[in-house]
Amino acid sequence: MLKRVKTWARWALLGMGLAAGAATAQTAICYNCPPEWADWGSQLRAIKARTGVTVPPDNKNSGQSLAQLVAEKASPVADVTYLGVTFGIQAKKEGVVTGYKPAAWNDIPAGLKDPDGAWFTIHSGTLGFMVNVDALKGKPIPKSWADLLKPEYKGLVGYLDPPSAFVGYVGAVAINQARGGTLDNFGPAMEYFKALKKNDPIVPKQTSYARVLSGEIAILLDYDFNAYRAKYKDKANVEFVIPAEGTLVVPYVMSLVNKSPNAENGKKVLDFVLSDEGQAIWANAYLRPVRAGAIPKDVQSRFLPASEYARAKTVDYGKMADAQKGFSDRYLKEVQ
């Protein structure tokens, strides 16, 4: 009997120790922090090293993240989230994020943050063609949106699902603007996607960086930072193209989740990604950090010339957010 009591006592003490360890564990859950996208892998390691907060990687896209935040609104699981700007605007409207002004708040330009801190830009990217030159097997590198419709690129073009992934929606807006449409008229984009469908495009829902490197997708509508990373870090034969007809530059934002279970840890994460070190990690991954002057000269020299980037324009991101659902419904009906 005494032996059983001692055994029980040992297990009880062990259980108390495990509970105490769990209580003191420094964890923050981030929705949409995929290690293969925008070098989140390096950022997550740096957050752990500098703040002690562990952030598990998460491979959702912006649409999936927002949907889950809404589904979990009564009992949130995530502490912070990373979203394309239109999804950040929608997240505020849904009441799933809350105001927080991080340490570098004053360094963020007024047009790139919600006045109440419900979302704020951490970096931006320019959409174009990420091209695996080897996978083209001698075909010319496409230079325009019109080129992608040519029969010679059949089966070689990929773009992320526009109703689900923010980069997919950005591609749709870029195509629409370049072909004469507006945020009130997505007709040109619809006609383009219908024409592109004849070329058997690959339309995944998730980040497809690895699929380009492997050659499974030869031409992906994606951001400059992923193409430069592939070319200069992973040493792949990849080129980035800004289409001749024009394209978009867009912000990516982060937010503190409303009623998050580990809000203090979440705030540490948000402070770090806007710190000097956090912004430098984005810059070294070929993103444009939101804080001015954060791109080293050696990194800047690897970007396409400024004359190429002159074709990348901004839009009214609030209006872009308002138009998103109508576009998605129409795309699902007419294209998908």
- Going by C-alpha positions, the residue among 304, 155, 145 that lies closest to residue 215 is 155
Looking at the fold, whether 72 and 94 belong to one and the same domain comes out as: yes
**Which residues, at least 6 apart from 267, have a Cβ–Cβ distance to it below 8 Å?**
100, 102, 256
Looking at the fold, whether 283 and 312 belong to one and the same domain comes out as: no
Looking at the fold, whether 197 and 322 belong to one and the same domain comes out as: yes
pLDDT in single tens digits along all 336 residues of the chain: 434 444 444 444 334 343 334 334 699 999 999 998 888 999 999 999 999 999 999 999 999 999 999 999 999 999 999 999 999 999 999 999 999 999 999 999 988 999 999 999 999 999 999 999 999 999 999 999 999 999 999 999 999 999 989 999 999 999 999 999 999 999 999 999 999 999 999 999 887 899 999 999 999 999 999 999 999 999 999 999 999 999 999 999 999 999 999 999 999 999 999 999 999 999 999 999 999 776 788 888 999 999 999 999 999 999 999 999 999 999 999 998
Looking at the fold, whether 129 and 151 belong to one and the same domain comes out as: yes
153: domain range? Answer: 125-249+305-334
Looking at the fold, whether 310 and 292 belong to one and the same domain comes out as: no
Is residue 12 assigned to a domain?
no
Is residue 284 assigned to a domain?
yes
Query: Which pTM value belongs to this model?
Result: 0.80
**Could you tell me whether strands 157-158 and 219-223 are parallel, antiparallel, or unpaired per DSSP bridges?**
parallel
**Number of independent structural domains in the chain:** 2
C-alpha distances in Å from residue 263, one per residue of 28, 200, 329: 8, 45, 35
Looking at the fold, whether 193 and 63 belong to one and the same domain comes out as: no
- Going by C-alpha positions, the residue among 336, 330, 320 that lies closest to residue 88 is 320
Looking at the fold, whether 119 and 132 belong to one and the same domain comes out as: no
Q: What is the model's pLDDT at position 2?
A: 39
Looking at the fold, whether 245 and 257 belong to one and the same domain comes out as: no
